[in-house]
Structure 1
Amino acid sequence: MGIAERKHRQKQALRERILDAARRIVVREGFAALSMRKIADAIEYSPATLYLHFASRDDIARALCEEGYAQLLATFVPLVRIADPAERLRALGRAYVAFGVEHPETYRLIFMEDPSYTGAALGGAAAATGKDGGSADDSSANAGTSGSTASRDNADDDPGDAALHIMIDALDELRAAGRLSASVASMESAVWAEALWASLHGIVALNLTCPVFPSAPLETLVGVTLDAWLGAPQAVAAGASNSAAVRGKKAVARRHAEPSESADPVPERATKRKAAGP
């Protein structure tokens, strides 16, 4: 190993130490507690050393957002294997909310702190996702034909939009199969996907910031939201239809089997009159 390579590795190792320390502070104390001096104390370096790697605290925050967003995208990768597009969208929605709940400070930093942080996360996902030689797109490419090719191609062009592309492609599959209501089918796919994303983000944001939200279990709320957008799952809808048909048949059978209420008294009254006669 040459001197230049050794110095480069040492520089990268120190950069990772800085980010690791910053990440621990954010997770433990929140972003407001993050400062260059606190990070320097955590890694036992002078604050001046940090500025050799990052221009400011905001620069560190943007790097953390890139990593956090790549982590979110990684949770979506196995879901591309789901063949049914509606179930794929449901799984994506649940995974998105679960990430926000399980990593609240990371989620806040990416989506709720500073627009420039969000922009860095969406724009920097390519490097963060593929830094180990693989990427979410590579994994998706091996997922089989159930995963959308368009998602992978678009993610290569703009990895910050990878999640939206997966949603859009699933929606297009539902439209092609005639499984969308007329109102939804007439809507532009990108608009629909962004609206669903906004709904899911609202659930996470309220869960993180509002002490009285939700009053129902979070999983129930997510399910109701997804049902509102996608309709009841096919198996549930079919089961409900079958149950209704069975109930209808039983009701008809009862009406035929039971004597008519209006017919019963007539012969009884006739019998009584006959008995009272001479």
Structure 2
Amino acid sequence: MGLQERRTEQRREQREALRERILEVSREIVKRDGFASLSMRKLAEAIDYSPAALYLHFRSRGEIAHALRLEGHARLREAFVAHTTIADPAARLNAMARAYVEFGLAEPETYRLMFMEPATLADTAANGADKPAEFGAATLSLIADAFVELRVADRLRPHAVPSACAEGLWANLHGIVALKLNGATLPETPVATLVELSLDAWSAPAHETELRTYSANRPDTSTR
């Protein structure tokens, strides 16, 4: 590698290091004080750079929010993927649902930024995998896959649609987290119990499953 190439590589590494430093400090501010407290000026002071240096990497506070949202969605998906090896779909759903609530309660400001703050221009202008909505859809598909398996095993209530069940479960889980984060007097019921009840809303009781299995396998005596 020649001198010019080494200098180019060094500049690239310095730019990447500064970008990561900006995001690192942004994470700290958001986790500590919430996204509303994040400003380009405060960020520049925290990393001891001029605001102009920040704008070389992020053109707005919204672009920083976009990057932090993507990071949050990636971590949430990783938490789900960790449970995809669970063979039983009901047990897998339970584990993923708990992981979702645990993530929201462990990182409240990141969760608020992901799901309780308005989308920014950077979010809507992004393409493909760079859109938070795409990350959310990919995570939702892991829930839907488990519901599909329950449907195949005849363990869902009649007429329950797996994709709708997945969206309904996510909505329930978001409600649990949002109530907790906003300091509401409810829910008083333990989170684990709320997760179980959310899943029970779509799961067919064991006796119904057994009855449908028996009816499907019962010999046809109508022509005798």
TM-score scaled by length of structure 2: 0.81
User: 2:30 maps to what in 1?
Assistant: 26
Compute the RMSD of aligned alpha carbons. 2.6
Point out the structure with the larger helix share: 1
User: 1:250 maps to what in 2?
Assistant: none
Decide whether the 8 Å contact of 1:26 with 1:34 is kept in 2: yes
User: 1:15 maps to what in 2?
Assistant: 19
Residue pairs, 1:27-106, within 5 angstroms: 27-106=31-110
Cα 1:58–1:92 shift into 2, 3 Å: same
| Alignment size in residue pairs | 202
Cα 1:37–1:72 shift into 2, 3 Å: same
Decide whether the 8 Å contact of 1:124 with 1:160 is kept in 2: no
Alignment gaps of 5+ in structure 2: 211-224
Confirm or deny that 1:227 pairs with 2:191.
no
Provide the rounded CA distance (Å) in 1 between the counterparts of 2:112 and 2:204: 30
Identity %: 52
- SS at 1:115's partner residue? coil
Larger radius of gyration: 1
Alignment gaps of 5+ in structure 1: 129-157, 239-278
User: 1:181 maps to what in 2?
Assistant: 157
User: 1:216 maps to what in 2?
Assistant: 189
Provide the rounded CA distance (Å) in 1 between the counterparts of 2:8 and 2:101: 44
Q: Can you list the C-alpha shifts for 1:160-216, whole angstroms capped at 9, x where unaligned?
A: 4221111111111111111122132xx2x2222111111111111111113312222
**Higher relative contact order, chain-length normalized (CA < 8 Å, sep 6+):** 2
Confirm or deny that 1:172 pairs with 2:148.
yes
Residue pairs, 1:133-144, within 5 angstroms: none
Cα 1:118–1:95 shift into 2, 3 Å: farther
Decide whether the 8 Å contact of 2:123 with 2:131 is kept in 1: no
Cα 1:171–1:117 shift into 2, 3 Å: farther
The one-letter amino acid paired with 1:68 is G
Decide whether the 8 Å contact of 1:125 with 1:160 is kept in 2: no
Decide whether the 8 Å contact of 1:110 with 1:117 is kept in 2: no
User: 2:214 maps to what in 1?
Assistant: none
